[in-house]
Structures are given as C-alpha cells and as structure tokens.
Amino acid sequence: MTITARPAPNAAPARLKVRQNIDSLSAQDLSDFRRAVKQAVALNDKRGFEYFASWHGVPFGWCQHHDPLFLPWHRAYLYWLELALQSEVSGVTLPWWDWSKAAAIPAAYSSAQADGAENVLAKAPVNPFNATRKSGWPTETSRAPGEVPQTPGPPYQQEWANAMKATNYTDFSQRIWAIHDTLHVWVGGTFAQLDFAAFDPLFFAHHANVDRAWRIWQAAHPGANPPADILNESLQTDPALKVSQVLDVHQLGYEYAGTQSTVPGSA
Amino acid sequence: MQRWTSQALAVPSRTSWQRADLEFEGVEHDGASFVTHVFLNNPDADEATPRTPEERYAGYLTVFAHGDCWGDVGHCDILEPVSAFDRRPPHPLIPFDATLEITEALAALPDDTGQMTVTVLAFNKNGDSEGVLRFKQLTLLTYA
C-alpha cells in the first residue's frame, strides 16, 4: 500500500510509512523490526533504545498520563523512537498489538526464541540512561499476565467500541486511557510499573494501538481536537514538539494499515 | 482487597438526566497499580459478589501507577512552582480525577431511590487491605 502526503505546504508529496498489525507482519518485516530493536538496545547513547525508554519514567519522567496530554505526548514519543529505529534498519515501523481483538500477548513478543537467538521483543534490560542504579530497580523487564486476577483481560472489544462512540476529545481521551491503564495492569510485572514499563518493547506495540485508536477516532471526527488551551503546549520530548504538531499523523510521516486516508490529488 | 463505602449521595429523578458519571477526585497514583470494581447500593459487596446488574455492579476503573519512589530523598515530593516564571511541567505525581460512567447502572436503580452509596473494591498485586485506592472525594455528576 502506498500513501503519500506533503511534508510541508509547498513540498512534493512523500511516501508515508505504514504501521501494521504485529500479527500481519511478513517474516521479513518482523525480522527487520527485531534487528532494528536489537541494534538500538546495543547502543548506549542518545540513539539507543534505553535512552528512549528512559524518557517515560525512570530516570527522566517525561510522560503524561491521566490528562489531555496523554495522547499527544505518546504520539510524539512513538514518532521519535520510530525514527531512531529507522536509522538502524531503513523502513521499519512500529507494529501495533490489537488488544481490542487479541486475547493474549502476541507470539512475536512472547516467544523466548526468534530467528535462532533470544527474542529481543520478549525481554529487555532495564538500564536507565546516565543514571546510577538504585536499590529496588529491576535489571530486566518482566510480565506476569493476570497478577492482579481481578483485572479484566483482553480483548477489550466493548471498551474499544465505547471509546469510539465518544463525541468529543476529552471523553475519547479518558475512555482510551482507561483501557490503556487496564492493559498495563493486566500484563503485570514491570509493564504495570509506570516508571519501568517503557523498557519493554511490548510497550510500544501497546501504545501504537492506543495511537491507532486516536487516529481512527480522528478520521471519524474531523476537527475534534484537544482543548484549545493545550494546542500550543510543548510536549517534553527530545526535541520537543507542540501538541498542534502531532495532530495529523500524515505530517509525522506515517499511517496505519486499514484506516481511511485522504491525500492531495494531482491538481 | 480494600473495601470502601461512601456516605449517601443524592440521586436525582431518572427523568432529569441522560448520562451519569462517578468522579473520583484527587486519585493518588504513587503506589502499586490497581484495579477497582464499583457497586451501587451494595455495601456488602465483596470479592465473591458477581459483577452483574442484579448486584448493582457499575463497572471498573484501573490505575496504572508508579509503584514506588525510585529517586533520591524528596524525588516524589509534590512541590509548588517556585515562582510565577516557573514553566516546568507539573509534577508527575499530582493526583488526577478518574471518571467512571455509570449511566446504565444508575438508571437500573428504582426511580424513588433518592440516594445511594457507592462501594469500591480495590485490588493490587500485594493484596493490600488499605491504601490501595486513595482519593480526595467522590462526586455523582448527571447530565441532562
């Protein structure tokens, strides 16, 4: 599938990258994605996976939760990480885990072995960037699905449908972050700890699906933006982006497979 | 499991609203992540109570939380801006408001209910019986 958009008003249309369902990736695409993550994990500078993982909780604590910046901040977060991965392996994109339909962690992220080696998507080191390790910090990521048994598990089909019925941004944001929180707690382990969750590669498949939900909802509700008073706010990333800069995924160079897309014609 | 039951909240006549929300104001999220299950007018609800309309089950709220303080002494103290020129983002641990839509559950109560209590069962991975859900106040909001 080829989708194009203009990166700037007078620029030539450029091809958008398409994020795909993890269960739909070809063997080659999955292998390329694993290679990108593995190479990024091996880097101990600002190009590396651990650097980006460190934005969310320990040690930087830049993430936004339970407020209207939740969706914009995480969209910016994924945008910067995806570019870093594309610098490692050209053309890779962040896959999404559709927990509105899937009942378990995708096999691509849960199998211990892949491509004849340890599966880099199943477990990752926790090495907060430029920080001195403190007592109690985990050394690697962990998951324990259902560790709080009273937490409803996926699929969240009904909750997803309810979120999509929202008619304004605030309602949508609240409903989707509620599902997001539930999934984190259901997965358990370090995935349920806000300060360490982003060290797990699964985090980004989860958030790609959150971002996809927003994209789908936006397509159905043109102009239903976040509150006007936050559009000019800076999102704390490196470098920073304003909320208004992340509203249109085409201006960030990507799209999700299977969603509606409108691009300029030839006139 | 922590169980908390509210004082009575006033419930307006069914004909006066189309949507109802419970708003948990000032929810703390510095501890372990947790899930809550919410019942209306069922103060005896416990872990074994079926989460069904017959038991006046209203839904669940889950909070993805920080787990502990992972920094140096004072790292998790919520400080006020040091001046009018302080443009740093708000502290990550500032409590937030969590909303649970309870339209169907509230509509299912008898119309002459007049008031109701809210019982919340809160669970975390440690099995704590207190301090799981900490919040400032609970408000029933209805919308015409």
- Here the CATH number for the domain that contains residue B126 is 2.60.120
Contact B35 A178 (CB under 8 A): no
Instruction: Tell me which residue of A213, A40, A62, A63 sits closest to A120, measured CA to CA.
Output: A40
Cβ within 8 Å of residue A225, ≥6 positions away: A169, A231, A247
- Cα–Cα distance measured from residue B109 to residue B96, given in angstroms and rounded to the nearest whole number: 29
Contact B33 A184 (CB under 8 A): yes
Least CB-CB distance to A150: which of B35, B67, B71? Answer: B35
Distance of residue A232 Cα from the nearest chain B Cα, in angstroms: 14
B35 residue type, one letter = V
For residue range A50-69, list pLDDT tens digits in order. 999 999 999 999 999 999 99
Residue B103 CA: distances (Å) to CA of A160, A211, B131: 17, 27, 28
Least CB-CB distance to B35: which of A57, A174, A185? Answer: A185
User: What is the mean pLDDT, run by run of 10 residues, along chain A of 267 residues?
Assistant: 75 88 95 98 97 97 95 98 98 97 98 95 97 94 97 98 97 97 98 98 98 97 96 96 97 81 66
Total domains present in chain B:
1
B55 residue type, one letter = E
Distance of residue B79 Cα from the nearest chain A Cα, in angstroms: 15
Q: Encode burial over A23-50: b for 16+ CB neighbours within 10 A, e otherwise.
A: eebeeebbebbbbbbbbbbeeeeeebbb
Identify the closest residue of chain B to A237 by CA–CA distance: B89
- Cα–Cα distance measured from residue B90 to residue B68, given in angstroms and rounded to the nearest whole number: 19
Contact A184 B64 (CB under 8 A): yes
Cβ within 8 Å of residue B9, ≥6 positions away: B115, B116, B117, B118, B138, B140
Identify the closest residue of chain A to B121 by CA–CA distance: A150
B134 residue type, one letter = R
For chain B, first and last CA: distance in Å? 36
Bridge partner list, A255: A18
- What local confidence, expressed as pLDDT, does residue A10 receive? 75
- What local confidence, expressed as pLDDT, does residue A94 receive? 98
Mean pLDDT score across all residues of chain B: 95
- Cα–Cα distance measured from residue B5 to residue B8, given in angstroms and rounded to the nearest whole number: 9
Tokens linked to A180? 């997001």
Average pLDDT on B121-143 reads 97
Q: Is the ipTM of this complex over 0.90?
A: yes
Contact A181 B89 (CB under 8 A): no
Total-model pTM: 0.94
- What local confidence, expressed as pLDDT, does residue A11 receive? 81
Q: Tokens 């490692």 map to which residue? A: A88
For residue range B25-78, list pLDDT tens digits in order. 999 999 999 999 999 999 999 999 999 999 999 999 999 999 988 888 898 999
Tokens linked to B136? 């400032």
Neighbours of A163 (CB within 10 A): 23
Domains of chain A: 4-119+147-256 (1.10.1280.10)
- Report whether the peptide linkage leading into residue A72 is cis, meaning its omega lies within 30 degrees of zero: no
Domain extent for B6: 2-143
Strands A254-256 and A17-19: parallel
- What local confidence, expressed as pLDDT, does residue A14 receive? 84
- What local confidence, expressed as pLDDT, does residue A260 receive? 46
Burial class of residue B15, CB neighbours in 10 A (0-12, 13-18, 19+): exposed
Average pLDDT on B7-27 reads 95
Helix (H, G, I), strand (E, B) or coil at A92: coil
- What local confidence, expressed as pLDDT, does residue A176 receive? 98
Contact B68 A136 (CB under 8 A): yes
Q: Indicate the helix (H) or strand (E) that contains A38.
A: helix A27-41
Contact A194 B121 (CB under 8 A): no
